[in-house]
Amino acid sequence: MNLILLNASDFISESCVQFEGARLAHIQNVHGSKIGDTVRVGQLDGLIGLGTITELGQHKLTLEVSFDQKPPAKLPLTIILALPRPKMIRRIFRTVAELGVERLCVINSYRVEKSFWQSPALDEHNVHQYLIEGLQQAKDTALPQVSFHKRFKPFVEDELPGIIEGSQALLAHPSLGESCPHQLNRPITLAIGPEGGFIPYEVEKLQAVGFEGIHLGKRILKVENALTTLTAKLYS
């Protein structure tokens, strides 16, 4: 953790917080902190500042906190992502938060196995925790917006046109369109398919609502690597 994120429930007064669990263990075992030391803290969806340790025990930590910095700006990026394999969900969601993606829409696709939607990894608590881990790594406090859409066609036809409005809609798909552009630094909606890519019907539906095809060359990357590479190319 490069930042200890604080929830509203952690505050016992306006400038004092108490917590236990994983954050306490991290400060004790990784930071090796002691009473009087300071740690970087942030209010969830709020400001960043410093916390001074005033009480440190096996089961509880108390900090005096103050906040004076804004979190890093979000990228003006919405990612439309076919539901990944369950074992990759934690890593990908963490990455989305680390990169500063503003919005993530997780969708169904022909090549997404139905059983994936039943994975415990999609439990609301787990998803929240994956995002928190990414924010703490990146020293950010602002959660990305995340939504789930289990029906491809209704989402693309009824919801996606409103989502892409005011942005450049790009569809990452092997051998489709032009090579990924560099440093656009403007609002973008980026669609990324599952392992194996979107099927032709899905590609056609996305193009019909305004998506332009882009690719990363001859190499076929795994979803998590494609997401990171595309984001790094699109934004400076």
pLDDT tens digits for 213-228?
Answer: 999 998 899 999 999 9
- pLDDT score of 175 more than 90: no
| Pair (182, 167) in one structural domain | yes
Domain end among 52, 69, 86: 69
Q: What is the CATH number of the domain that holds 19?
A: 2.40.240.20
Whole-angstrom distance, CA of residue 192 vs CA of residue 223: 8
Residue range(s) defining the domain that contains residue 60: 4-69
12-39 pLDDT, tens per residue? 999 999 999 999 999 998 989 999 999 9
Name the pTM for this structure.
Answer: 0.93
Number of domains in the chain: 2
| Pair (59, 111) in one structural domain | no
89-131 pLDDT, tens per residue? 999 999 999 999 999 999 999 999 999 999 999 999 999 999 9
Q: Which residues are CB-contacts of 102 (< 8 A; sequence separation ≥ 6)?
A: 74, 75, 76, 77, 78, 144, 145
Domain end among 54, 69, 84: 69
Q: What is the CATH number of the domain that holds 189?
A: 3.40.1280.10
| Pair (90, 172) in one structural domain | yes
pLDDT at residue 236, rounded to an integer: 85
| Pair (127, 229) in one structural domain | yes
| Pair (87, 63) in one structural domain | no
